[in-house]
Amino acid sequence: MAEYYIRDADSDEARGPYNETKIADLIEAGRASGQTLYYDETQDDWFPLSDLSELSDVLNPQQKRIQLRAKSDSRKVVRISEDTRPPITVDEMLAAAEGNSEETKHLKAKAIRRDKAASLSLPALGVIFALSALMHVYGSWDTITVLREEFQWAKLGANPMLILGCVDLFLMLCCFLSVTDIFPVIRVRAMLGLGYFTYFYWSWGEYPQSIAAAVASLAMYVCTVTLNLYLMIAFSVLGILGMGFLATSLFL
């Protein structure tokens, strides 16, 4: 059930938040009317209670009113007594909406952390793919020389690692250009690395490289699915270190 802040048309002091049932009680008690204003968060403005269709039975005397609440006078007294709280001013309500009040500061801090995580993912992925492209392209440099000098394009189909290096170069450019629509492709690339390359290095007895490939591929995937700042930092570092280790091992 939605909740609203309300205030008199000639006052800047808001009360609430109240749900429709509570507002109906206030109307029946004469403490609110159809001219009383309520705050609509979706339109960021004040409107009269008469615009709320949920209160039409209470505000329109031509319609049948629900009288069940009137059977318990004691309950109505208890509800009205809740209005003894200090009224909320418009400035306090706006501060709460902007996340500057004591009750909403944690929500604003959470949103800031999510924004930082989102801004970190693409640069981190760009560095990971840059290292991966360097590794695969440098490892296929002989094939590149043949393609450049002799135009024997059939050699390209016989060297899947060079093709993967070109794909990683493309993904790197997309990440540095902030193209988030590429995330599904990155997840497929991450699953390929986690499955094929982990097994490839493991089958050759290169266990450190196998672990590094698994960590780097898992980091690629996590960086596309999480907005938790601490997870993003951790897996960004792990992904760069893992792919950096693989690239370094090629030169050693």
Give per-residue pLDDT as tens, 87-121: 666 565 655 555 555 656 677 788 888 899 999 99
Q: How far, in Å, are 83, 91, 141 from residue 44 at the CA level?
A: 24, 14, 60
Class of residue 204 by CB neighbours under 10 A (exposed 0-12, middle 13-18, buried 19+): exposed
Last residue of a domain, one of 103, 123, 145: 103
The 10s digit of each residue's pLDDT in 123-162 is 999 999 999 988 887 766 666 565 566 655 555 555 677 7
Give the residue-averaged pLDDT of 53-76. Answer: 54
Kindly state whether residues 229 and 200 are assigned to the same domain: yes
Which pLDDT does position 52 carry in this prediction?
72
Give the residue-averaged pLDDT of 33-39. Answer: 78
Last residue of a domain, one of 51, 81, 103: 103
Kindly state whether residues 170 and 90 are assigned to the same domain: no
Q: Are strands 88-89 and 45-48 parallel, antiparallel or unpaired?
A: unpaired
Place of tokens 């094939």: 143
Name the percent of the chain lying above pLDDT 90: 31
Is pLDDT larger for residue 203 or for residue 11?
203
Sheet holding 88-89, edge to edge: 45-48, 37-40, 3-7, 13-19, 88-89
Last residue of a domain, one of 68, 103, 138: 103
Six token digits for residue 112: 């800031």
- CA dist 92 and 98 (Å) reads 10
Kindly state whether residues 176 and 213 are assigned to the same domain: yes
Residues in the chain: 252
Six token digits for residue 31: 């403490």
Which pLDDT does position 177 carry in this prediction?
94
Kindly state whether residues 207 and 225 are assigned to the same domain: yes
pTM of the entire predicted model: 0.55
Range of the domain at 207: 111-251
Kindly state whether residues 8 and 40 are assigned to the same domain: yes
Place of tokens 């629509």: 181
Q: Are 2 and 19 in contact (CB under 8 A)?
A: yes
Q: Return the beta strands (E) in the chain as ranges.
A: 3-7, 13-19, 37-40, 45-48, 88-89
Q: Cis bond leading into 48, ω under 30°? A: no
Kindly state whether residues 178 and 235 are assigned to the same domain: yes
The DSSP symbol for 62 reads: T
Residues paired with residue 88 on neighbouring β-strands, in sequence order: 14
Kindly state whether residues 10 and 133 are assigned to the same domain: no
Kindly state whether residues 89 and 13 are assigned to the same domain: yes
Kindly state whether residues 189 and 237 are assigned to the same domain: yes
Confidence band for 225, pLDDT divided at 50, 70 and 90? very high
**Start-to-end C-alpha separation, the chain:** 65
The DSSP symbol for 205 reads: T
Kindly state whether residues 198 and 131 are assigned to the same domain: yes
Kindly state whether residues 9 and 119 are assigned to the same domain: no
How many domains are contained in the chain? 2
Q: Determine which of 46-50, 78-82, 98-102, 226-230 has the lowest per-residue pLDDT on average.
A: 78-82
Kindly state whether residues 233 and 193 are assigned to the same domain: yes
Residue 66: which region, alpha, beta or left (left: phi > 0; alpha: psi -120 to 50)?
beta
